[in-house]
A and B are shown apart, each in its own frame.
Chain A
Amino acid sequence: MTNSEVLVQQLIIGLSNGMIIALIALGYTMVYGIVELINFSHGDLFMLGTFLALTVVGALGLGEPLDGQVITWGVIPLLIIVPVFCAAVNWTADRLAYRPLRNAPRLAPLVSAIGVSFVYMNIGLFWGGLPMEVFNMGTAPAAPKDFTALVSYDNLLGDSNITLTAKEVLVFAVTTPLLMALTVMVKYTRLGRAMRAVAQEPTAARLVGIHVDSVIGVAFILGGALAGFASVIYALYNNTIYFQMGFRVGMDAFTAAVLGGIGSLPGAVLGGILIGVIRAFSDQYIATEWTNVVVFAVLILALFFRPSGLLGSTAAEKV
């Protein structure tokens, strides 16, 4: 491989990983922008999504694509069922664990979110232990589980040194329209305007007749659905899931949200992509041992010069 081929390859890998991080980061940033809650359970919600995806794969008996095909049509039900499930779970968590604490000191819902994250993790552990025949789960509850390769490993570029599989294409094909749709919704629809109003000043929003609680509910639903899409894409891209993955992936996404400016939607996307690309370049040009250090060094540097993140608004009170 020539140096430029390596560079292109690492960019492809970095962008793919970054897009997945961005999808999850959006869930953090949306909820934070509106209720100022760092929803720590978001990563574990994402993990539950991957478990549901694997269960659906088992229940529908989906397998690898036939020769000559790069993708199984079974991906489509996954992309419907899992986001709906994650949206519903996220909304329920808001109703049960966060909404009753809306007027409590800010630490209370935060602790509540950490609690929810443990609940999810233990559900994941239990889910992973369900018998293999029905649920596709393998024999060891906590072990990493293989996610059936519904998207082929074949290189679309034939014998080229650069590898581009249908998996990478899928990541872009799913995330790009989602990000566009979300931007349009927040910018141009009534609901989007209501969301921005609540984010700016909930009391004033209530005064002008916005139903604040339903707007908050919508933020949880949208964030959950994005986590659900991320679950499916992640599982199809990496083909391994385990019950503890939510913490780590959530951490990356949260870092991305902070880097981009928490509360800012374009910021979360930029942060996610940056982290993905920095990781890839650090693995290639520095050493894998140092990758986490590099990522956080960049974060610290960025916050040093722009304390509210790369695209965060500079208003002191509201982020």
Chain B
Amino acid sequence: MLQRSFLLGLLALAGSAALAPGAGAQEPNTIKIVSSLPHTGSANAQTNTIVNGVRLALEEAGNKAGNFTIVYEAWDDASPERGQWDPAVEAANADRAIADPSVMAYIGTYNSGAAKIAMPKLNQAGMLMVSPGNTWPGLTKPGVGEPNEPMVYRPSKKVTYFRVVPADDIQGLVAAQWTKEMGCKRVFLLHDRELYGKGIATMYEKEAKKQGLEVVGLEGIDPKASNYRSLVTKIKQKRPDLVYFGGTTQTNAGQIAKDLRSANLQVKYMVPDGCFENAFIEAAGAENVEGTAFITFGGVPADQLTGPGKVFYENYKKRFNAEPQAYAAYGYECGRVVLEAIKRAGKKDRAAIVDACATIKDFEGLLGRWSFDENGDTTVKTMSGNTVRGGKFEFVKVFGDSQP
């Protein structure tokens, strides 16, 4: 099923590339929205579920926003060479969206690194960008990332980028607090040396020290290494209670779990939401993470949602005949936000739609009522902790704001 949808996705991509300037593009009452997400790579399954989320939001609105008919295209920002998002493809996607006068909104990206590339381009062009998955805090929040962030992404000085998912400063914090709650005292930190992984490990480290945890080691791994046995031997000497890895499935989170097992090291293994996808359990081998892996996620798993979230969960299963993965809800939320912005703007004008999006307050979302703050961040701060049981993710608890 997934395979077929992957192929269909490819066909759709090929079709959209061929028909880009085709019929319908210039119709005044038709607005096109696009998404730029990694379809080639381990994130593909997650991406499909996000795209489905967007589709569901559009279908429920009858593909209409106000008087406008909405056309949606799902673009890939990954390449087979990299097996994950590719800076060149992301840049090309942004340029293509800007060049197409019928495109009014850009849903993406999944990876924070990709957002860094698309954000300044789209900002300059004044196009609305809404992300279902970027969690690097520096993209929006001043004073938490690099010194020139986030203004470097806003050449026009205006906020044109919004995200519906809580950022990593909150996730790193929650992960460290959870570690403390589990009774762990000594932690060994690993990261994949990428923006997302290193960022979240840094946030974790800060909070861990505040919580009185002892950080017994910090290493940046080579995500393409064939194994980490030497490193695990080094970890073993430090006798940690928990190993935290800031990284994703694609940067070898699964291999680390196996090497911990081959060194016969009985530790807890905690990873961030970049691993909150079935591909992580598949890559690690279910038996290697059973009950020992702990995964934090910004939001709660779809099957734990209540209220409107529960309705979404049921509708998604009915429509796509599959369980939504972690980020499906954010895809759905993105779709609804974009529709709302277009409806509020009431005209086919990029600037007006961005302005309208910024006014979204007290939005009835899947995680309760939320607003965009002045940086374009959601006010949702709900996080969840999950583990693996019987080869599947199992929800453990909610952190932060409780659900309405």
List chain A positions with a Cβ less than 8 A from chain B: 1, 6, 9-10, 13-14, 17, 20, 121-122, 125, 129-131, 138-146, 149, 153, 155, 163, 165, 167, 234, 237-240, 242-245, 248-249, 279-281, 283-284, 287-289, 291-292
Contact = CB atoms under 8 A, between A and B. Distances in A.
Interface string B50-83: 0000000000000000000000000000001001
A122 B83 CA distance: 11
Contacts of A163: 262-264
A243 B83 contact: yes
A140 B229 contact: no
Interface string B301-332: 00000000000000000000000000000000
Interface string B124-135: 000000000000
Given A129-B6, A289-B193, A280 B227 contact: no
Interface stretch (B16-24, B137-145, B217-225): B217-225
Contact of B234 (A122, A141, A283): A283
Interface stretch (B39-47, B148-156, B375-383): B39-47
B272 to A, nearest CB: 17
A144 B283 contact: yes
Interface stretch (B101-109, B175-183, B251-259): B251-259
B8 interface: no
Contacts of A1: 233, 236-237
Nearest to A21: B226
Q: Name which of A14, A138, A140 has the most chain B CB atoms within 10 A of its CB.
A: A140
B230 A13 contact: yes
A140 B45 contact: yes
A268 B45 CA distance: 40
Q: Name which of B84, B193, B249, B263 has the most chain A CB atoms within 10 A of its CB.
A: B263
A20 B282 CA distance: 25
Interface string B92-104: 0000000000000
Given A239-B258, A239-B285, A245 B222 contact: no
A192 B249 CA distance: 45
Given A131-B3, A289-B193, A145 B227 contact: no
B250 interface: yes
A237 B227 contact: yes
A165 B229 CA distance: 12
B167 interface: no
A131 B2 CA distance: 9
User: What 7 pairs between A and B have smallest CB-CB spacing?
Assistant: A143-B42, A283-B230, A146-B285, A144-B283, A143-B279, A280-B230, A138-B282
B284 interface: yes
Given A140-B45, A142-B41, A13 B233 contact: yes
B222 A288 contact: yes
Contacts of A140: 2, 41-45, 278-279, 282
Given A143-B249, A163-B263, A245 B226 contact: yes
Contacts of A248: 224-226
14 contacts: A14-B230, A140-B282, A141-B3, A142-B42, A143-B42, A143-B249, A149-B287, A163-B263, A165-B262, A238-B255, A239-B258, A279-B230, A288-B221, A288-B231
A146 B6 CA distance: 21
B261 interface: yes
A280 B278 CA distance: 31
Contacts of A122: 80
Contacts of B278: 139-140
A234 B226 contact: yes
A249 B226 contact: yes
Contacts of B255: 144, 238, 240
A300 B135 CA distance: 40
A242 B80 CA distance: 12
A146 B254 CA distance: 8
Contacts of A138: 279, 282-283
A131 B45 CA distance: 14
Contacts of A245: 224, 226
Contacts of B285: 146, 149, 239
Nearest to A288: B219
Contacts of A121: 80
B284 A146 contact: yes
Contacts of B230: 10, 13-14, 279-281, 283-284
A165 B357 CA distance: 58
A58 B44 CA distance: 23
Contact of B282 (A6, A146, A288): A146
Contacts of A139: 2, 45, 278-279, 282
A17 B233 contact: no
A291 B224 CA distance: 12
A244 B282 contact: no
A291 B228 CA distance: 12
Given A238-B258, A240-B283, A6 B237 contact: yes
B279 A141 contact: no
A122 B40 CA distance: 12
Interface string B187-224: 00000010000000000000000000000000111101
A13 B283 contact: no
Contact of A244 (B6, B83, B226, B258): B83
Q: Name which of A13, A139, A142 has the most chain B CB atoms within 10 A of its CB.
A: A142
Given A144-B249, A280-B230, 6 more contacts: A144-B42, A144-B254, A146-B254, A146-B282, A244-B83, A287-B220
